[in-house]
Amino acid sequence: MHIRRDSTCSALMIALCFVLLPWIGSVAADDDRAGDREAMVKEQIITRGVKDPTTLAAMRAVPRHLFVPASLAPRAYQDRPLPIGYGQTISQPAIVAFMTEIINPGPGRKILEIGTGSGYQAAVLAATGAQVYTIEIIPQLAASAAARLKKLGFGDVAVKTADGYYGWPEQAPFDAIIVTAAAEFIPPPLIEQLAEAGLMIIPVGSPYFVQTLMLVQKQNGKVISNNLMPVRFVPFQRAEE
């Protein structure tokens, strides 16, 4: 019994290393903040109940301090969101990990993110081996995130500047959709672009008030939604007509 469990475990570890080592190798070189990330994972993420090994490995691998303005790099691994310019923020690490775990990313999964911001959430998803498409409405943020992702070895992430309300119809359907700005309602095109059995995580509610993080599932063409927890995100903006 023991031996069997061990061998399953090590097979899993080997499979995980196979998927994650190339990423870890490409992003972790010259990185002196691995200890800070380990502390972040232990103290902020595992303690809040995130268990998925793929998610935890991605949180350990992606150098969050290179996704914030240089002046804030010393605070990059604190338990808080940080400003990234243009009135936007990079989410708290624990929220990124929670949202990542729940959509079950990994090799072979096609994921759409709305709200690229710094590119950090997109990099975490890509580090799981998922194929990532991300949309940002502020052109300057989209451009800097795309350049940063490329430089850090996440050049496979597709970034576009657009109003994410409309999703990315040419690439649909998606196995999962993650929205990182709070919308007043779930944009119907995003539900449309979710694959059968797909999962969407989205904060819903009025800007500047407490919003609800919702998990939306498509099953047999029906949409089932669950409220997960109260959250606060920057507002989902709309392009001017």
Q: Is 225 in the site for ligand SAH (CB under 6 A)?
A: no
Residue 180 in the binding site for ligand SAH (CB under 6 A): yes
91 classed as catalytic = yes
Contact of 62 with 132, CB cutoff 8 Å: no
Backbone CA torsion sign across 6, 21, 142, 31: positive
Note the Cα 14 to chain centre separation in Å.
Answer: 24
* Bond from prior residue into 230 cis (ω within 30 degrees of 0): no
* Window contacting ligand SAH (CB under 6 A); options: 31-39, 41-49, 56-64, 118-126: 118-126
Alpha-carbon span 211 to 27, nearest angstrom: 34
d(CA 68, CA 90): 8
Rounded to 5 degrees, what angle do the CA atoms 122, 165, 68 make?
A: 30
Q: Which is nearer to ligand SAH, 117 or 129 (CB)?
A: 117
Q: How far is the CB of 165 from ligand SAH (least distance, A)?
A: 5
Q: Which stretch binds ligand SAH (CB under 6 A): 1-9, 52-60, 223-231, 233-241?
A: 233-241
Q: From the CB of 4, what's the least distance to ligand SAH, in Å?
A: 40
- Residue 64 CA, chain-centre distance (Å), reads 12
Can you tell me which of 136, 168, 213, 218 binds ligand SAH, judged by CB under 6 A?
136
Q: How far is the CB of 143 from ligand SAH (least distance, A)?
A: 12
Which burial class, exposed, middle or buried, applies to 227 when counting CB atoms under 10 A from its CB (0-12, 13-18, 19+)? exposed
Site string for ligand SAH, 140-179 (x = CB under 6 A): -x---------------------xxx--------------
Q: Give the nearer residue to ligand SAH in terms of CB position, either 91 or 131.
A: 91
Give me the residues that bind ligand SAH (CB under 6 A), please.
84, 88-91, 114-115, 117-118, 120-121, 135-138, 141, 163-165, 180-181, 234, 236-237
